[in-house]
Amino acid sequence: MGLHPLEFSECYLDSPSFRDKIKAHEAELDKTNRFIKELYKDGKNLINATKQLGMAQRKFAQCLGEFQFEYIGDAKTDDEKCIDESLQEFSLFLKNLEDQRELMMRNITETLMKPLEKFRKEHLGTVRADRKRYEKETEKYYSSLEKLLNMSAKKKEPQLQEADVQVETMRQHFQEESLDYVCKLQEIQERKKFECVEPMLAFFQTVFTFYHQGFELAKDFDHYKRALQINIQNTRNRFEGARSEVYELMKRIREAPQEYRQTSPISCEGYLYVQEKRPPPFGSSWVKRYCTFVKEQKILHMVTFDHRSGGKIGETESVMLKSCLRKTTDMLDRRFCLDLDITDRPGTVLTVQALSEDDRKFWMQAMGGKESIGHYFGRTLSKERGIDAQLDDVGLSFVKNSISAIETRGINDQGLYRVVGVSSKVQKLLLLMIDEKSNEVDLSTSEDWDVKTITSTLKLYLRSLPEPLMTYGLYKEFISPAKGGSPESRIQAVHCLVHKLPERNRQVLGLLMKHLANVAAHSKQNLMTVANLGVVFGPTLMRPQEETVAAIMDLKFQNIVVEILIEHNEKIFADAPESCPLSPAAPVFSAPTRQSKKLSRQNRPLAVYNPQALDIQNVADSSSLATDETSMGSNESVSSQSSSASTSETPAEKSDHAPLNISLSSGSNSGAAAALWSTPGASVESGESQPAATTTASDKEKPEESVTSRKAKAVYPCEAEHDSELSFQVGAIFNAVTQSREPGWLEGELEGKRGLIPENYVEML
């Protein structure tokens, strides 16, 4: 589990656990700040101390390899995994370069040093100032609150009212500061992933041009660079989408914080001041405690916690409640007090003080008192105001009408579905189209409504349904496979879940996915790839019932589900699956890395090859998962290329034909991006290697039976890095397999060609 999301509603409770979460976020940002400082210092050493280049570079590589990003939530997308692993990949590359002592670094100030320092000062530096301000406001608010609560109830009413107003103003100001600080913390946590890695990417590109083998190395690195750029762009796009949702949620909570108070039918919680009586003549004292009341058992748990003492949490005390009575001011010179009759302490009455009159009523109601207040159990999403959209025949007709018009009039429009129409026109069109009494308008021929208005209206209709098209009930099941597993298992899980949807939902979803696949097929003109469409339609088609920061952090996984639906719509919506797995996120067997071959050649290219992870159990079906690129129109998506190691073009090469800002689909396993870093053949070996089919003297000396009788089967896919090696898919059968002169390698025949085979990629038959 990574860092916990910081819910805005917790800013109003200000619980001990909430403060602990804030501390964890602060510690992570401090770690990032220290990391960037260290990286900056090491970078200066690389520039100013060429004589000590080797030592400085190894330290730099170590710093990269040891750092890992923390993430919010319980899982990472494939793009985030690639970004997380990128620092380790960079570290490994630097160490390989140091072994050859060929590294020369120039002009890195503009590409590495300034962006990192700018990020550290402009973002991480401001967090420190915000932290001090937040701590100061905490001190001011709780001091004023205690002063208010200690006021005598016998003071004149105007004085009491004035004091209440002052504290309420300070409370609102404190909560505003708390909301802003929490939002800032989470924004920086997400931003650092690409703000830290992108300068590193530019730095590497600069460094490679000055190597003795710079040209070949740059070609090798270019594959990985392009894949990582797409990973970063995907992460940035999802960050922007999530950030806008977070700001909207924060705005709604500011407008009605009481509606978002975290309560449940099971328990309620908040701060109470508990009276602790002492022997005469010491009187009594009031101690602030964070209390949780479990309604069914009538147990009150009390934890001592003082925000001003460094946030130290005291011991927990639990009592069983018998009854709760309001304590009047004529009995005690303090307001908002309650007397709690304790079951497990006969004759003992515990006096507590709430924070306000509304808070007192809240606790009275929760503990079985007679006074009641509005009670909220979280806030759920509601349909758009004034729009009664239903998934009926009228709605289905509108969806078909809209799709026909878009495909007829605007399939090549740039930014289709991203460019929005005028809000008033969009609402007017939707009200017209879902009105059973109005005459149906043929949008394909009508000039009254432009394409962007029609696309926005279709999205508004889907958002305005009483329940998302993919239903609240199946939300968690759809999200689960997107958080792990192989590409094949994800597709299979989504396939099964789609056929659990109500018939009308599945029908509309199928129409929409077929249409979006057509849109993606024209991505060279409209720039709307599968990944871009996933960002647009993820929150529209599926969402949880409650609005929380944790739910917003799952937006990236919603996008992945939609990408899978678009890319595999023909398979998913054609027929119900024959069988469904018990677990949608099945474990994946990872192929060994290229480095595990332990090559003995001194002039081998330095690129690291990481064959794509593949579920061996699903090998027989892997070829059917490849989708014709031209039919999908997305050069950047690898979610359907789960076993395409032997294709003539790598995904990175294909992306040359499209803008780099187009996103990569994240429906694939993270190994697919790593597999892009391959060596297309190193020219430095051309003088050493003999043709693969040539029989050498050493071959003739080997036992004849080993050449004619031994066979092997591939258990992992592999792409050749040199003419003397063989490329193959999982399940390939090699004939005439012999041990090679090079450690860790075999020689064998495949489809009439003889060449080298990595020994740990096959099993002998």
In this structure, are residues 161 and 151 in contact, taking their beta carbons and an 8 Å threshold?
no
Question: Is residue 126's pLDDT more than 80?
Answer: yes
For the segment 213-236, the average pLDDT, to the nearest whole number, is 79
DSSP 728: B
Query: At residue 496, does pLDDT exceed 80?
Result: yes
Q: What is the pLDDT of residues 249-265, one digit of tens each?
A: 888 888 877 666 655 66
State the pLDDT at residue 309: 64
Note every long-range contact of 356-364, with CB atoms under 8 Å and residues 24 or more positions apart, other chains counting: 359/270, 360/326, 360/336, 362/268, 362/270, 363/268, 363/270, 363/272, 363/293, 363/324, 363/338, 364/324, 364/326, 364/338
User: Tens digit of pLDDT for each residue in 334-343?
Assistant: 888 888 888 8
Q: Is 566 exposed, middle or buried (0-12, 13-18, 19+ CB in 10 A)?
A: buried
pLDDT score for 486: 82
User: Can you give 62-124 as a three-state secondary structure string?
Assistant: HHHHHCCCCCECCCCCHHHHHHHHHHHHHHHHHHHHHHHCCCCCCCCHHHHHHHHHHHHHHHH
- Judged by phi (left if over 0) then psi (alpha if -120 to 50, else beta), residue 727 lies in beta
Under a CB-based contact definition with an 8 Å cutoff, are residues 612 and 675 in contact?
A: yes
pLDDT digits (tens, 9 = 90+) for 261-303: 655 666 788 889 998 877 766 667 888 889 988 887 888 899 9
Sheet with 712-714, strands from edge to edge, namely: 753-758, 745-750, 733-739, 712-714, 762-764
Predicted local confidence at residue 201, as pLDDT: 87
Kindly state the percentage of the chain with pLDDT values over 90: 16
pLDDT tier, 385 (very low <50, low <70, confident <90, very high otherwise)? very low
Reported confidence tier of residue 104, pLDDT bands at 50, 70, 90? low
Q: Which residues pair with 321 in a beta bridge?
A: 342
Is residue 168 pLDDT above 50, yes or no?
yes
Average pLDDT over residues 689-702: 38
Q: What percent of the chain has pLDDT over 70?
A: 75
pLDDT at 2: 83
User: Looking at residue 113, what is its pLDDT?
Assistant: 85
Answering whether pTM is above 0.75, one says: no
Is residue 48 over pLDDT 70?
yes
pLDDT category at 321 given cuts 50, 70, 90 is confident
Asked whether the predicted pLDDT for residue 668 surpasses 50, the reply is: no
Tell me what the mean pLDDT of segment 525-546 comes to.
88
What pLDDT is recorded for position 469?
93
CB-based contacts of 282, cutoff 8 Å, min separation 6: none
Which sign does the torsion angle of CA 231, 233, 235, 241 carry?
Answer: negative
Mean pLDDT of the chain: 75
- pLDDT of residue 646 exceeding 60: no
- CA distances, 185 to each of 1, 12, 627, 633 (Å): 18, 17, 41, 38
Confidence of residue 598 (pLDDT cuts 50, 70, 90): very low
pLDDT, residue 165, reads 92
Kind plus residue range of the DSSP H or E element containing 274: strand 267-277
Give the DSSP letter string of 519-537. Answer: HHHTHHHH---HHHHHHHH
Is the pLDDT score of 632 beyond 50?
no
**Are 178 and 11 contacting, i.e. CB atoms less than 8 angstroms apart?**
yes
Q: Which of 316-320, 342-346, 696-700 has the highest mean pLDDT?
A: 316-320
pLDDT score for 649: 37
Give Rg (Cα) of the chain: 32
Span 321-330, mean pLDDT?
80
Nearest partner of 399 among 530, 520, 535, 512, judged by Cα: 512
Q: Which of 1-5, 122-126, 566-570, 597-601 has the weakest average pLDDT? A: 597-601
Query: Worst-scoring range by mean pLDDT, 152-156, 190-194, 343-347, 475-479?
Result: 343-347
The rounded distance, in Å, linking the Cα atoms of 376 and 358 is 14
- Residue 510: the pLDDT is 93
pLDDT at 756 over 70: yes
pLDDT band at 408 (very low <50, low <70, confident <90, very high): very high
Residue 648 has a pLDDT of: 34
pLDDT band per the 50, 70, 90 thresholds, residue 218: low
Give the model's pLDDT for residue 263. Answer: 55
Question: At residue 592, does pLDDT exceed 80?
Answer: no
Average pLDDT for residues 168-182, to the nearest whole number?
91
Instruction: Tell me phi and psi for residue 636, to 5 degrees.
Output: -100, -10
What's residue 709's pLDDT? Answer: 60
